[in-house]
Amino acid sequence: MSEIYDALEALGLEQSGQQANTSGSRAHLVASTVSADDFSVLMEFCERREDGLEQHEQQVSANEEVEHATLTVSANDCSALEERIVRVVEMVKQERQERTAAEDRALHAEAEMSEQALRIEVLEKELNAHKSERHHSHQRVERMLNLLDSLELRRRESQRNRVA
Protein backbone atom coordinates (compact mmCIF):
# COMPACT_ATOMS: atom_id res chain seq x y z
CA MET A 1 0.00 0.00 0.00
CA SER A 2 2.83 2.41 0.79
CA GLU A 3 4.25 1.80 -2.68
CA ILE A 4 1.05 3.13 -4.21
CA TYR A 5 1.25 6.23 -2.08
CA ASP A 6 4.86 6.69 -3.06
CA ALA A 7 3.81 6.44 -6.68
CA LEU A 8 0.94 8.87 -6.11
CA GLU A 9 3.22 11.32 -4.38
CA ALA A 10 5.55 11.08 -7.27
CA LEU A 11 2.62 11.65 -9.62
CA GLY A 12 1.44 14.56 -7.56
CA LEU A 13 4.82 16.16 -7.72
CA GLU A 14 5.12 15.61 -11.43
CA GLN A 15 1.57 16.87 -11.95
CA SER A 16 2.39 20.06 -10.12
CA GLY A 17 5.36 20.60 -12.38
CA GLN A 18 8.01 19.32 -10.05
CA GLN A 19 10.19 16.43 -11.01
CA ALA A 20 10.37 13.46 -8.63
CA ASN A 21 13.83 12.60 -7.50
CA THR A 22 13.18 8.90 -7.48
CA SER A 23 14.78 7.93 -10.74
CA GLY A 24 14.59 4.24 -11.42
CA SER A 25 11.85 3.64 -8.87
CA ARG A 26 8.39 2.35 -9.60
CA ALA A 27 6.87 5.67 -8.56
CA HIS A 28 8.89 7.51 -11.17
CA LEU A 29 7.86 5.05 -13.88
CA VAL A 30 4.18 5.32 -12.94
CA ALA A 31 4.36 9.10 -12.62
CA SER A 32 5.84 9.53 -16.06
CA THR A 33 3.05 7.61 -17.77
CA VAL A 34 -0.07 8.91 -15.91
CA SER A 35 -2.00 12.03 -16.93
CA ALA A 36 -3.63 14.44 -14.46
CA ASP A 37 -7.13 12.94 -14.97
CA ASP A 38 -5.77 9.45 -14.52
CA PHE A 39 -3.97 10.65 -11.44
CA SER A 40 -7.17 11.93 -9.81
CA VAL A 41 -8.99 8.68 -10.68
CA LEU A 42 -6.08 6.68 -9.31
CA MET A 43 -5.98 8.83 -6.18
CA GLU A 44 -9.75 8.34 -5.64
CA PHE A 45 -9.37 4.60 -6.21
CA CYS A 46 -6.59 4.41 -3.63
CA GLU A 47 -8.61 6.37 -1.09
CA ARG A 48 -11.62 4.12 -1.63
CA ARG A 49 -9.43 1.08 -1.40
CA GLU A 50 -7.87 2.33 1.83
CA ASP A 51 -11.33 3.11 3.26
CA GLY A 52 -12.50 -0.32 2.15
CA LEU A 53 -9.50 -1.95 3.82
CA GLU A 54 -10.15 -0.02 7.02
CA GLN A 55 -13.80 -1.06 6.93
CA HIS A 56 -12.78 -4.63 6.20
CA GLU A 57 -10.32 -4.57 9.11
CA GLN A 58 -12.99 -3.10 11.37
CA GLN A 59 -15.46 -5.72 10.18
CA VAL A 60 -12.94 -8.52 10.78
CA SER A 61 -12.20 -7.09 14.22
CA ALA A 62 -15.92 -6.88 14.98
CA ASN A 63 -16.42 -10.45 13.70
CA GLU A 64 -13.57 -11.65 15.91
CA GLU A 65 -15.13 -9.87 18.90
CA VAL A 66 -18.52 -11.39 18.11
CA GLU A 67 -16.93 -14.80 17.66
CA HIS A 68 -15.08 -14.43 20.96
CA ALA A 69 -18.29 -13.28 22.65
CA THR A 70 -20.13 -16.19 21.02
CA LEU A 71 -17.51 -18.59 22.31
CA THR A 72 -17.75 -17.00 25.75
CA VAL A 73 -21.53 -17.09 25.65
CA SER A 74 -21.36 -20.61 24.29
CA ALA A 75 -19.15 -21.63 27.20
CA ASN A 76 -21.55 -19.95 29.63
CA ASP A 77 -24.48 -21.57 27.85
CA CYS A 78 -22.76 -24.95 28.04
CA SER A 79 -22.14 -24.64 31.75
CA ALA A 80 -25.73 -23.49 32.31
CA LEU A 81 -26.97 -26.37 30.19
CA GLU A 82 -24.75 -28.77 32.09
CA GLU A 83 -26.18 -27.48 35.39
CA ARG A 84 -29.72 -27.92 34.08
CA ILE A 85 -28.92 -31.46 32.94
CA VAL A 86 -27.45 -32.29 36.35
CA ARG A 87 -30.60 -30.92 38.04
CA VAL A 88 -32.81 -32.95 35.70
CA VAL A 89 -30.79 -36.10 36.38
CA GLU A 90 -31.12 -35.48 40.13
CA MET A 91 -34.86 -34.94 39.73
CA VAL A 92 -35.17 -38.19 37.77
CA LYS A 93 -33.20 -40.06 40.44
CA GLN A 94 -35.41 -38.60 43.16
CA GLU A 95 -38.58 -39.46 41.23
CA ARG A 96 -37.36 -43.03 40.73
CA GLN A 97 -36.60 -43.36 44.44
CA GLU A 98 -39.99 -41.95 45.33
CA ARG A 99 -41.69 -44.27 42.82
CA THR A 100 -39.81 -47.26 44.26
CA ALA A 101 -40.82 -46.22 47.78
CA ALA A 102 -44.43 -45.81 46.64
CA GLU A 103 -44.37 -49.25 45.00
CA ASP A 104 -42.96 -50.75 48.21
CA ARG A 105 -45.70 -49.03 50.24
CA ALA A 106 -48.31 -50.31 47.78
CA LEU A 107 -46.98 -53.88 48.07
CA HIS A 108 -46.98 -53.60 51.85
CA ALA A 109 -50.53 -52.22 51.80
CA GLU A 110 -51.68 -55.05 49.51
CA ALA A 111 -50.12 -57.66 51.82
CA GLU A 112 -51.70 -56.00 54.84
CA MET A 113 -55.02 -55.82 53.02
CA SER A 114 -54.93 -59.54 52.19
CA GLU A 115 -54.13 -60.29 55.86
CA GLN A 116 -57.03 -58.08 56.90
CA ALA A 117 -59.28 -59.83 54.37
CA LEU A 118 -58.39 -63.20 55.94
CA ARG A 119 -59.02 -61.78 59.41
CA ILE A 120 -62.35 -60.34 58.27
CA GLU A 121 -63.32 -63.73 56.83
CA VAL A 122 -62.50 -65.45 60.15
CA LEU A 123 -64.41 -62.78 62.11
CA GLU A 124 -67.42 -63.10 59.79
CA LYS A 125 -67.44 -66.89 60.38
CA GLU A 126 -67.26 -66.32 64.14
CA LEU A 127 -70.04 -63.74 63.94
CA ASN A 128 -72.22 -66.11 61.94
CA ALA A 129 -71.52 -68.86 64.48
CA HIS A 130 -72.48 -66.53 67.34
CA LYS A 131 -75.63 -65.48 65.52
CA SER A 132 -76.53 -69.12 64.95
CA GLU A 133 -75.83 -69.94 68.61
CA ARG A 134 -77.92 -66.95 69.71
CA HIS A 135 -80.74 -68.09 67.46
CA HIS A 136 -80.58 -71.63 68.94
CA SER A 137 -80.44 -70.18 72.45
CA HIS A 138 -83.40 -67.99 71.68
CA GLN A 139 -85.35 -71.00 70.39
CA ARG A 140 -84.48 -73.01 73.51
CA VAL A 141 -85.58 -70.15 75.75
CA GLU A 142 -88.84 -69.94 73.79
CA ARG A 143 -89.42 -73.69 74.21
CA MET A 144 -88.66 -73.44 77.92
CA LEU A 145 -91.05 -70.53 78.30
CA ASN A 146 -93.69 -72.44 76.41
CA LEU A 147 -93.06 -75.44 78.63
CA LEU A 148 -93.31 -73.26 81.74
CA ASP A 149 -96.52 -71.74 80.44
CA SER A 150 -97.96 -75.19 79.82
CA LEU A 151 -96.84 -76.32 83.28
CA GLU A 152 -98.41 -73.25 84.80
CA LEU A 153 -101.64 -73.95 82.96
CA ARG A 154 -101.65 -77.54 84.20
CA ARG A 155 -100.98 -76.46 87.75
CA ARG A 156 -103.85 -73.98 87.61
CA GLU A 157 -106.10 -76.61 86.15
CA SER A 158 -105.13 -79.05 88.79
CA GLN A 159 -105.81 -76.46 91.50
CA ARG A 160 -109.21 -75.73 90.02
CA ASN A 161 -109.93 -79.37 89.94
CA ARG A 162 -109.02 -79.69 93.62
CA VAL A 163 -111.03 -76.74 94.67
CA ALA A 164 -113.91 -77.88 92.81
Query: Does residue 4 fall inside a structural domain?
Result: no
pTM score of the predicted model: 0.38
Query: Does residue 5 fall inside a structural domain?
Result: no
Query: Does residue 148 fall inside a structural domain?
Result: yes
How high is the pLDDT of residue 19? Answer: 42
DSSP assignment of 14-71 equals HHTTPPPS-TTSHHHHHHHH--HHHHHHHHHHHHHHHHHHHHHHHHHHHHHHHHHHHH
Query: Does residue 135 fall inside a structural domain?
Result: yes
Range of the domain at 44: 35-163
Query: Does residue 71 fall inside a structural domain?
Result: yes
Query: Does residue 16 fall inside a structural domain?
Result: no
Query: Does residue 6 fall inside a structural domain?
Result: no
Domain count, the chain: 1
> Which parts of the chain have pLDDT scores under 70?
1-46, 49, 52, 66-75, 164
